[in-house]
């Protein structure tokens, strides 16, 4: 498994926010590393990318066939920054859908700037990196390759920027006091009582896809899952495990 970049030539990252991330990272990487990293990224050397709070990680295949664990860090918000960010974001109800749709509104970033906040690295110095290779202190070409893969991922999924800062889309929506207060003309729907959890209902097919039918069966027996209709066997076979990316 390796990650194929969409971009074949020129700069990687089309949207303004991807470009901003790239520019900051390239200042960190320097011209030479950036060039070889870009080539490695385009060659599909990056095996996978994982983004979590503060860290983007990935395995990068070296020319000699060795895997290196590269990572690029962008620090999560401090509690104060986080509170301020959430306050601003919640005044923008459209933001979650925009982010999910691949759009990070530039004017929102400008609003953040008013509070000295940014989802993007404010400076190359805000980024740090690490790699399991011997090229110390780096940044090595593996980190550079990982960076370009991250840039392209962020291009399409700006939500990754939120993740890096330790936030989720859930954080952007204020919890509701009452249900269905969206509008008077809409059907009011009282919140249903939380339905009871029943392990017998669990569907082992959901596991079988990821861990194989044998282990799934044993785990299902542990949970006491009821047998389901045979047709779902087929459904599971039709859907190989999805790549998280």
Point out which residues bind other proteins (CB under 8 A): 1, 47-50, 57, 59, 92-103, 159, 168-170, 172-173, 176, 178-183, 185-187, 189, 191-192, 194-204, 206-207, 209-212, 214-215, 217-219, 221-224, 241-245
Beta strand spans in 118-194 (E): 128-131
CB 132 within 8 A of CB 69: yes
* Smallest distance from other proteins to CB 180, Å: 5
* Smallest distance from other proteins to CB 175, Å: 9
- Beta strand pairing call for 55-61 and 128-131: unpaired
Residue 180 and residue 159: Cα distance in Å, rounded?
A: 26
* Smallest distance from other proteins to CB 195, Å: 5
CB 153 within 8 A of CB 49: yes
Instruction: Give SS3 for 30.
Output: coil
* Smallest distance from other proteins to CB 179, Å: 5
Q: How many residues does the chain have?
A: 245
Closer Cβ to other proteins, 116 or 243, answer by number:
243
* Smallest distance from other proteins to CB 52, Å: 9
Residue 159 backbone dihedrals phi, psi, to 5 degrees: -60, -30
128: nearest Cα among 118, 120, 138, 119: 138
Q: For the beta carbon of residue 215, count every other beta carbon within 10 angstroms.
A: 13
Closer Cβ to other proteins, 5 or 209, answer by number:
209
Closer Cβ to other proteins, 195 or 230, answer by number:
195
Residue 233 and residue 101: Cα distance in Å, rounded?
A: 33
Closer Cβ to other proteins, 136 or 197, answer by number:
197
Closer Cβ to other proteins, 2 or 36, answer by number:
2
Closer Cβ to other proteins, 7 or 69, answer by number:
69
Instruction: Give SS3 for 223.
Output: helix
| Residue 22: alpha-carbon gap to chain centroid | 16
* Smallest distance from other proteins to CB 177, Å: 10
């Amino acid at each position: 498994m390796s990650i194929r970049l969409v971009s074949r030539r020129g700069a990687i990252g089309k949207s303004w926010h991807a470009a901003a991330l790239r520019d900051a990272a390239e200042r960190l990487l320097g011209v030479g590393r950036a060039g070889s990293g870009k080539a490695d990224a385009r060659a599909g050397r990056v095996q996978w990318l994982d983004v979590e709070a503060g860290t983007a990680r990935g395995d990068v295949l070296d020319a000699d066939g060795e895997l290196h664990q590269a990572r690029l860090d962008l620090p999560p918000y401090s509690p104060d920054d986080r509170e301020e960010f959430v306050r601003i974001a919640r005044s923008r109800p459209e933001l979650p859908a925009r982010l999910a749709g691949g759009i990070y509104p530039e004017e929102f970033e400008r609003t953040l700037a008013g509070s000295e906040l940014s989802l993007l690295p404010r400076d190359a110095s805000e980024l740090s990196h690490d790699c399991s290779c011997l090229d110390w202190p780096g940044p090595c070409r593996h980190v550079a390759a990982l960076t370009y893969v991250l840039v392209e991922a962020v291009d399409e999924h700006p939500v990754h920027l939120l993740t890096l800062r330790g936030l989720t889309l859930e954080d952007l929506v204020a919890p509701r006091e009452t249900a269905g207060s969206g509008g008077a003309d809409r059907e009011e729907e009282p919140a249903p009582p939380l339905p009871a959890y029943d392990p017998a209902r669990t569907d082992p097919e959901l596991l079988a896809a990821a861990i194989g039918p044998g282990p799934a069966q044993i785990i299902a027996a542990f949970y006491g899952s009821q047998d389901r209709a045979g047709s779902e066997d087929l459904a599971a076979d039709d859907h190989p495990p999805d790549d998280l990316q």
